[in-house]
């Protein structure tokens, strides 16, 4: 089962990000804990790290904080060397879209090969602009 983060305005879906499996999201959060939080989960990125990924949502107040966390993660991941692509689908997507990670930032992408942090930041931006929560599905 995959993790899908999205924004709805009534019945209309405005945007969504298919992250991959819950395990993939867990791998992303593990990298954040290791490289951004120095092993203390939730110490620098509590909105991302301590929020349950099971059928919840980030409310607008949380999204404002989440955006700052995503900017911090992006900056740090761009400074670090790449790690091997894990998971069942990531190597194939990388091959399909010609992705060759140059840093840790490049190692995390959605199922369409788009940078995960960019997609999450875009979702957060839309959430703030439209005053709507980000839903976990």
Q: What is the 3-state secondary structure (H, E, C) of the chain?
A: CEEEEEEEECCEEEEEEEEEEHHHHHHHHHHHHHHCCCCCCCCCCHHHHCCCCCCCEECHHHHHHHHHHHHHHHHHHHHCCCCCCCCCCHHHHHHHHCCCCCCCHHHCECCCCCEHHHHHHHHHHHHHHHCCCEEEC
Q: How confident is the model at residue 86 (pLDDT cuts 50, 70, 90)?
A: confident
- Tens of pLDDT, residue by residue over 93-106, are 999 999 999 999 99
Q: pTM of the entire structure?
A: 0.94
The whole-chain average pLDDT of the chain stands at 95
pLDDT at site 33: 98
pLDDT at site 1: 58
């Amino acid at each position: 089962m995959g993790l899908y983060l999205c924004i709805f305005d009534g019945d209309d879906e405005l945007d969504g990000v298919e992250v991959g499996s819950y395990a993939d999201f867990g791998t992303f959060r593990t990298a954040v804990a290791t490289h951004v939080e120095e092993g203390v989960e939730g110490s620098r990125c509590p909105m991302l790290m301590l929020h349950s990924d099971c059928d919840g949502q980030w409310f607008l107040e949380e999204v404002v904080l989440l955006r700052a966390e995503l900017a911090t993660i992006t900056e740090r991941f761009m400074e670090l060397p790449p790690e091997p692509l894990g998971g069942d689908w990531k190597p194939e997507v990388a091959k399909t879209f010609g992705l060759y990670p140059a840093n840790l930032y490049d190692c995390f992408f959605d199922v369409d090969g788009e940078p995960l942090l960019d997609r999450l930041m875009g979702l957060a931006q839309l959430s703030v602009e439209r005053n709507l929560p980000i839903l976990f599905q």
